[in-house]
Amino acid sequence: SVVEVQHASPTRPLIAVSHRGAAGHAPENTLAALDAADELGAETVEIDIQRTADNHIVLLHDTTLARTTNVESVFPDRSPYLVGDFTLREIKRLDAGSWFAPSFTGERIPTFDEALDRLERLDLNLFLEVKEPALYPGIERAVAEELAGRRTWLEHNPAWEPRKLIVQSFDWDSVRRSKSLLPSVPHALLGRVPEARIGEFTWAHMINPNHTTIDAAYVRRVQDAGLEIMPYTINDRQRMDHVLGLGVDGFITDFPDTGQRAIADF
C-alpha cells in the first residue's frame, strides 16, 4: 500500500544570502557589490536602505555617510554627516568605493530604484533591510510604492517562492507596518525574538538572529512555529558548518562563494 507523508511545509534548499551586496568582495551596498554577488554565483543578496533629505531611498548601512564615503572631504562642515541631512544630488557627488579599494574609485551610492533595476537584470533575489525606520517615518509606504510599480517582485506566489523578496528589520513594529502594506510579501524579524514571544510573530516568514545568539533548541523552536531561520553574518567556514549543523534554513554572509561551498559540502 502507498503511504503518503504529509509535510508541514515544502522542503526548500539551503541558501547563502550575500550580505550588503557582497561586502567581502566589493564596497558594501553599491552596484559593484551586486555585480560581485552575481559573479560569485549568489542567487540572493541582502541590502540596507535609508532615506535622503529629499525623500529618496538609497542603499546605505550606517545612518551617517562617514564610514563608507569621502563625505568628510567633500562636505567638511556637514558633520555628523547624517544621510537624512543630504539631498540625493549631494549624495551622488560622493565616492562610495575608494574607502574599500582604489579599484572601486568613483562608485556611487545607488538609489533603491537603481538597485532594483540591477537586481532585475541580474535575476537576483532580495533580502531588503529597512534600517532605522524610526528616523524615516513613512519609509515602509515608500518601499511598498516603489515595489508596486515593479511586478517582478510581487507577481510570484510566495507560498512556493518565499525567498524572491524578503523585507526585514530590527524594528519589529516597522516589519508589521510593512507586512500590512505588502501582505503577499514574506517578512523577517531581525534579532533574537525571545522564545516566549515567537508565537506573536506567526504572520512573519522568518526570524534572522545574530549567529552567536542561537543554538539547536532555538532553531527548532522557530521552525516549529512555522518560520524559517537564517542567522547573520557568518564569514568563517567553520562557523558556517556549525550553524548548518544546528539545522538553519540558510545564513547571511559577506562571502557567498564560501557559503555556497559550505552548503554543497553539508
**Catalytic-role residue among 19, 25, 187, 211:** 19
Helix, strand, coil percentages in the chain from 3-state DSSP, rounded to 5: 40, 15, 45
**Does residue 235 bind ligand G3P (CB under 6 A)?**
no
Query: Terminal CA-to-CA distance of the chain, rounded, Å?
Result: 34
C-alpha grid cell, residue 9: 511545509
147 Cβ contact partners less than 8 Å away, ≥ 6 residues apart: 116, 153, 154, 165, 182, 185
28 near ligand G3P (CB under 6 A): no
Q: Is 48 in the site for ligand G3P (CB under 6 A)?
A: yes
31 or 207: CB nearest ligand G3P: 207
Measured from the CB atom, the residue of 32 and 189 that comes closer to ligand G3P is: 189
Task: Name the binder of 182 from ligand G3P, Ca ion, none, CB < 5-8 A by kind.
Answer: none
The question of whether 242 is a catalytic residue gets the answer no
**Interaction pattern, residues 123-152, with ligand G3P; x per rule: CB under 6 A:** ----x-x-----------------------
61 catalytic? Reply is: yes
Could you please report the per-residue DSSP string of 12-61?
---EEEETTTTTTTS-TTSHHHHHHHHHTT-SEEEEEEEE-TTS-EEE-S
Residues that bind Ca ion (CB under 5 A): 48, 129
Residue 108, contacted partner among ligand G3P, Ca ion, none, CB below 5-8 A by kind: none
Rounded Cα gap, residues 205 and 185, in angstroms: 9
Q: Which does 190 bind (CB under 5 to 8 A by kind): Ca ion, ligand G3P, none?
A: ligand G3P
250-253 vs 15-18, strand pairing mode: parallel
Q: Which residues belong to the active site?
A: 19, 61
Residues found near ligand G3P in the complex (CB under 6 A):
19, 46, 48, 61, 127, 129, 190, 208, 232-233, 252
